[in-house]
Chains A and B, each alone.
Chain A
Amino acid sequence: MSVSPLLIIDDDQNILILVAEYLESEGYTTVQATNGIEGLRQLEIHNPQLVILDVNMPEMDGMQICRMIRANEKFQHIPVLMLTARTDIMDMMEARRMGANDYLIKPFDPQALIQKVVRLLAQ
């Protein structure tokens, strides 16, 4: 049985590719989705060990997806790392309130991303 992948949900294709590359160079496998609906579909299929989630997306935003993950018995234990372009403290608090385990402000240093992923997976 292979180790379950990390799921990245971001509507920005470039971020998706870059984040996936960093993580894969560290030996993780990833699956990607460019919108919330597809993200939840991939979550269902792959049962990932961690979700990296962009806050700002059209239609279904990151907050909403995070809340849905926390509301589902099968997935509520999965750690969620939020990516946000805003430095707004209210935003970060909101992410916490929605059940995110940690957040990262864009643009970010690849090393910071890896550190946070490692820490979340270790918990």
Chain B
Amino acid sequence: MKTPTHLPPGSRPVAISSFHPLFHDSITGLPSAPLIMESMRDLASEHGKIGIIFIDTTHLETLEKVHNWEWMDSIYSQLCGWIESLSSEFAPLRMFAMHRVPGDNLILVVSPGVKESVLSEPELADVSARTEEILNRNLAEMLPSQSFGRLFHGYSILEYNSNQRFERLLARTINRAFQNALGRQVETDQEDIRQLEEIVRLQKIRTLFQPIFALGDHKEILGHEALSRGPEGTAFETAEILFSMAERCGMLTHLERVCQKQILSALETQSTSKLLFVNMEPSLLEQESYLLLPLFDGRSAQNVVLEVTERIAITDYRVVARALESIRSRGFRVAVDDAGSGFASLESIAYLKPDYIKISEKLVQGISNDYIKQEIVRTLRDMAWRLSASVIAEGIEDEMDLNMLIDLGISYGQGYLLQRPAERLLG
């Protein structure tokens, strides 16, 4: 655990002055509001006003889903480090951070550093905007190139009034700052919606194909996975971001339709006798309208494998299993994607009766020296056998991992080590 470094300078010792998990966020080391209440009260009564900046981290939620919470914790801890080094930037103003709920949005307190000086709103607005800008810039550098994350700032001034309970004043100021951040987020969302609409309207989706091989010496091709990408160099480039944005904006069906049209038109110029794996947004399967999508309009289904992520198994797998049953009766095959990534139980995967089980890259990467990952993959392999399903390992990037997968009896695989996604089909 870190020692508290974010206490305001000259803060008066309160009941618990040393680092305590009840009053400090164990992830970031930030103090809670009650712990520094007295210091804030002193600052507010001395200067008449203090500023509250709300750093809204809601947008990072998608990243946490894609990665995991441990990864997210390290991002938060990193954010706090940056804020700490930022505070000197705004001298003579003083800035320190606290948490409301551990491991979530950050709250910064700004006060004049010089006696009898007063904080102005333009000053606070500037500090707030610059803080957001620097944090976002640092964040963009640190995140893997294909992901994105954005923070939103909001601010409000607390005007001290001895007639009012300070705690209430503070709570209301934090709420105003939060509303302010929310407003900014709504504006950005509207911009995202505009961009998404343009992508859908102009069909700015590229389709790449990544081959899936039989593992071993011969590298025979089982099929290709079709991957949809948004415009290069934009936040929408990766499928995860693209689709999660579309879901938030209620444009999922539109986007899916365009992606499928692009896949089918890419296949018009090149034919393959091998399987074609196509990803399908699970939430669409819960609506009857999925049958109106281009993929289902009577084309040959024989070589098409529909990939659904194992995450669907945790919603209502009976509804999904029914939809998959009807899809299968049309001649399609079904693959469960991201298996073993921790969302669904093996039992619920089994209920989906997949023809293929695709092992999550989270299990594949580093499997060569991770006994637990090996055990999970063995279990998935044995379950697949009992279901008469075939196993495909995803995200193979390392020779040692590849050899371990072969030793574990995994038949098929895909990944950068074998072949990067490309516009043309192989074989």
CB within 8 Å of B: which residues of A?
Answer: 37-38, 40-41, 44-45, 68, 71-75
Contacting residue for B386 out of A41, A45, A71, CB 8 A? A71
- B70 within 8 Å of A (CB atoms): no
Flag if B388 contacts A37 (CB, 8 Å): no
CB distance from B383 to the nearest CB of A (A): 12
Flag if A44 contacts B411 (CB, 8 Å): yes
Question: Using a Cβ cutoff of 8 Å, how many contacts connect chains A and B?
Answer: 31
Flag if A45 contacts B216 (CB, 8 Å): yes
Flag if A74 contacts B409 (CB, 8 Å): no
Closest to A45 in B: B214
CB distance from A69 to the nearest CB of B (A): 10
Chain B residues near A45: list those with CB within 8 A.
214, 216, 220, 411-412
- Give 4 new A-B contacts, CB below 8 A, not counting A37-B408, A45-B412: A38-B409, A44-B412, A45-B214, A75-B388
Q: Indicate the member of A41, A71, A73 with the most B CB atoms within 10 Å.
A: A41
Chain B residues near A44: list those with CB within 8 A.
390-391, 411-412
Flag if B214 contacts A68 (CB, 8 Å): no
A-B pairs with lowest CB-CB distance, top 8: A37-B409, A73-B388, A44-B411, A45-B214, A41-B409, A72-B388, A74-B388, A41-B411
- B407 within 8 Å of A (CB atoms): yes
Chain B residues near A68: list those with CB within 8 A.
385
Can you offer 27 A-B residue contacts whose CB atoms are under 8 A? A37-B408, A37-B409, A38-B406, A38-B409, A40-B385, A40-B409, A41-B215, A41-B216, A41-B406, A41-B409, A41-B410, A41-B411, A44-B390, A44-B391, A44-B411, A45-B214, A45-B216, A45-B220, A45-B412, A68-B385, A71-B385, A71-B386, A72-B385, A72-B388, A73-B388, A74-B388, A75-B388
Contacting residue for B407 out of A37, A74, A75, CB 8 A? A37
Q: Indicate the member of B214, B390, B409, B411 with the most A CB atoms within 10 Å.
A: B409
CB distance from A66 to the nearest CB of B (A): 13
Chain A residues near B410: list those with CB within 8 A.
41
CB distance from A92 to the nearest CB of B (A): 26
Chain A residues near B411: list those with CB within 8 A.
41, 44-45
Closest to A60 in B: B409
Tell me the B399-427 residues at the A interface (CB within 8 Å): 406-412
* Bound Cα distance from A41 to B409, whole angstroms: 5
Contact with A along B372-410 (1 / 0, CB 8 A): 000000000000011010110000000000000011111
CB distance from A90 to the nearest CB of B (A): 27
Chain A residues near B409: list those with CB within 8 A.
37-38, 40-41
* Bound Cα distance from A56 to B177, whole angstroms: 74
Chain A residues near B385: list those with CB within 8 A.
40, 68, 71-72
* Bound Cα distance from A103 to B390, whole angstroms: 28
CB distance from B406 to the nearest CB of A (A): 7
CB distance from A99 to the nearest CB of B (A): 15
Closest to B214 in A: A45
* Bound Cα distance from A73 to B354, whole angstroms: 13
Chain B residues near A40: list those with CB within 8 A.
385, 409
Chain B residues near A37: list those with CB within 8 A.
407-409
CB distance from B414 to the nearest CB of A (A): 14
Closest to A44 in B: B411
CB distance from B24 to the nearest CB of A (A): 50
* Bound Cα distance from A45 to B410, whole angstroms: 10
Chain B residues near A41: list those with CB within 8 A.
215-216, 406, 409-411
CB distance from A4 to the nearest CB of B (A): 13
Tell me the B201-229 residues at the A interface (CB within 8 Å): 214-216, 220
* Bound Cα distance from A49 to B8, whole angstroms: 76
Tell me the B176-191 residues at the A interface (CB within 8 Å): none
* Bound Cα distance from A92 to B388, whole angstroms: 27
* Bound Cα distance from A8 to B66, whole angstroms: 43
Tell me the B254-283 residues at the A interface (CB within 8 Å): none
* Bound Cα distance from A71 to B388, whole angstroms: 8
Closest to A75 in B: B388
CB distance from B12 to the nearest CB of A (A): 67
CB distance from B403 to the nearest CB of A (A): 12
* Bound Cα distance from A38 to B406, whole angstroms: 8
CB distance from B382 to the nearest CB of A (A): 9
